[in-house]
Amino acid sequence: MRKSTPDNWRKLWTKRNIDEVYPTSEVLVDNLIKMVDVKGLRILEVGAGSGRDSVRLAKMGAEVYVLDYIKESLDVVRSLAEREGVTVRYIWGDALAMPIKSDSFDAIFHQGLLEHFRTPDDLRLLQENHRALKPGGYALVDVPQTFHIYTVIKQILILLNKWFAGWEKQFSIAQLRSAMKQAGFIEKHSYGEWMDPSLFYRILREILWKLRLVNLPLYPKKIPLFLKARQNLRRKLSEMEWSKWTFFTIGVIGRKDESA
């Protein structure tokens, strides 16, 4: 049975420069700060990733911790934090059994993590998030959305054993909301984001990079006038509930009951 393994992530973070890996833009942090002022809060990112969101939160005055079971991933975040001149604290541990006391954090978040856990471990992960949060604390969970061409391509590559992460799944907004509710969270906000740049530009860039022909920039050049119009249109459409069935990624912010 294919699965995501530690070796998948070691290969990713030892072969690729962080500046060559697409960030989560700013949507994750932007949506978290809609709910709470992060300055002075104790915040945990589960699954190190590139660490960009954690570094941004540290710059905003949060006391930030990052947990991962791969030391190479933590090293990537450490390097970025040092480069940006901020303090981030590191925890080497399993997301399903975090070496963290209950009721320890004001907010917990992860992006691109939950989809790598099979059922029932995905629910266990969310329950661990719930346990580690203080009563009234927030959890933000960001995952790939099911109804996207990215999902089709990903599943084909998984069948061919060519997917960089080994294996992963995806969620509809209804499935993500249900999982958060089962873990004990009260939904407070949801959001989504379309892919930028396009999937086809990303594929072309990856192919050319692997063939060592040319290293295209992360983002193609854009015409300012059309860029502004596109951003305004996307902003309006994203406020409509049906758009959550078209996004590349979706997120739900849940809150732990204050009486928990």
How large is the average pLDDT for residues 105-125? Answer: 96
How is residue 17 written in tokens? 């420069």
Question: What pLDDT, on the 0 to 100 scale, is given for residue 38?
Answer: 97
* Domain ranges (residues) in the chain: 6-196+241-256
Cα dihedral value 193, 194, 197, 202, nearest 10? 100
Condensed to tens digits (0 to 9), the pLDDT of residues 127-179 reads 999 999 999 999 999 999 999 999 999 999 999 999 989 999 999 999 999 99
- The amino acid at residue 166 is G
Q: Considering the chain, what percentage of its residues have pLDDT values greater than 90?
A: 70
Domain 6-196+241-256 in CATH: superfamily?
Answer: Vaccinia Virus protein VP39 (3.40.50.150)
Condensed to tens digits (0 to 9), the pLDDT of residues 208-247 reads 988 888 888 888 888 787 878 888 888 888 888 899 999 9
- How many CB atoms neighbour CB 53 within 10 A? 26
Condensed to tens digits (0 to 9), the pLDDT of residues 14-60 reads 876 777 777 666 899 999 999 999 999 999 999 988 899 999 999 99
Task: Please give the model's pTM, rounded to 2 decimal places.
Answer: 0.90
How far is the C-alpha of 21 from the C-alpha of 13, rounded, in Å?
10
How far is the C-alpha of 130 from the C-alpha of 137, rounded, in Å?
9
Condensed to tens digits (0 to 9), the pLDDT of residues 70-98 reads 999 999 999 999 999 999 999 999 999 99
Q: Closest Cα partner for 150 from 208, 197, 218?
A: 197
- The amino acid at residue 163 is W
Which residues lie below 8 Å from residue 179, measured CB to CB, with a gap of 6+?
Answer: 114, 122, 123, 126, 141, 171
How far is the C-alpha of 141 from the C-alpha of 129, rounded, in Å?
10
- How many CB atoms neighbour CB 4 within 10 A? 18
Q: Beta strands of the chain (E only): which ranges?
A: 42-46, 63-68, 88-92, 105-111, 133-144, 185-193, 249-256
- How many CB atoms neighbour CB 219 within 10 A? 11
